[in-house]
Amino acid sequence: MNALSTVYIVGAGPGDPDLLTLKAARLLKEVEVVVYDRLVSDEILDMVPSGTTRIFAGKAARDHHMDQDEINELLVSISQSGRTVVRLKGGDPFIFGRGSEEALFLSDHNVPFEIVPGITASAGCGSYAGIPLTHRGMATGVRFVTGHCREGKHLDLNWQSLADPDTTLVIYMGLINIAMIRDELIKAGLPANTPAGAIERGTTKEQRTILTTLEDLPSCIEKADLQAPSLLIIGRVVELANQLSWQIPAMDCDIEEHA
């Protein structure tokens, strides 16, 4: 039986290939198999040598090409075959990337692994949109939450804790539940006029950013027809995008009924 090979769980960052770490870029050229997610950009996949085996394991809301159990088993199987593998994930593997679940499965099966951090979407997309996650006098902290829940489950978040005007709130995978998120935050006491932004395909050439308020965020997303992957940022720091947006100018969203 072949010796077990190492599985590298690698963060690909939010999309711009220039944001890959040096270690991630090196591993993509050295390993024999790359198992990649839907959010890994084409530009990053183009860095994989032509002779390397590529396996798509993409997942989207309610549309799984390969479910998590299958991915876990696949990684073990490749390791048992003796081939080195990069498990390439968008953003950072340990921030809403299920990288820790895969690492635990590998650990349970005595498969050697390494974690290679990536720039998470909140940092990358916020920077490219000109939205700092913290800023003196505007935000004393930042919270990362997921706006997506498993099918049949209610989005169970501590809304009172999240409705803090001194904290920047970053919501991953929040498009589907944005109206409920808006309603719950306002009900919990976050002012309706709190600045809010949505960033589609952040750090890529297709990036789009809209700037609005918490109250109008669902309407603006619908009006702009924003699609996944999109990141939501709520808090006073969003105001700074008007001055700090350096790559692609943000769009102000004017909703007629609130004009």
pLDDT 10s digits, 106-153: 999 999 999 999 999 999 999 999 999 999 999 999 999 999 876 656
Taking Cα atoms as reference points, which of 125, 124, 133, 99 lies closest to residue 113? 99
- Strand locations in the chain (E): 7-11, 33-36, 53-56, 59-60, 63-64, 85-89, 113-116, 141-146, 167-172, 195-200, 208-213, 230-234, 251-252
pLDDT 10s digits, 157-206: 999 999 999 999 999 999 999 999 999 999 999 999 999 999 999 999 99
Q: Please give the domain boundaries of the chain with CATH numbers for all domains.
A: 7-116 (3.40.1010.10), 121-258 (3.30.950.10)
3-state secondary structure of 44: helix
Summary mean pLDDT of the chain: 92
Helix (H) or strand (E) holding 218: helix 217-224
Q: Is the pLDDT of residue 63 over 70?
A: no
Helix (H) or strand (E) holding 111: none
Annotated active-site positions, please? Answer: 37, 59
DSSP code per residue over 135-203: BTTTBSEEEEEE----TT------HHHH--TTEEEEEES-STTHHHHHHHHHHTT--TT-EEEEEESTT
Which residues face 234 on adjacent strands? 169, 196
pLDDT 10s digits, 37-61: 999 999 999 999 999 999 999 765 5
Q: What predicted TM-score, i.e. pTM, was given to this entire model?
A: 0.91
Taken as a whole, the chain contains a residue count of 259
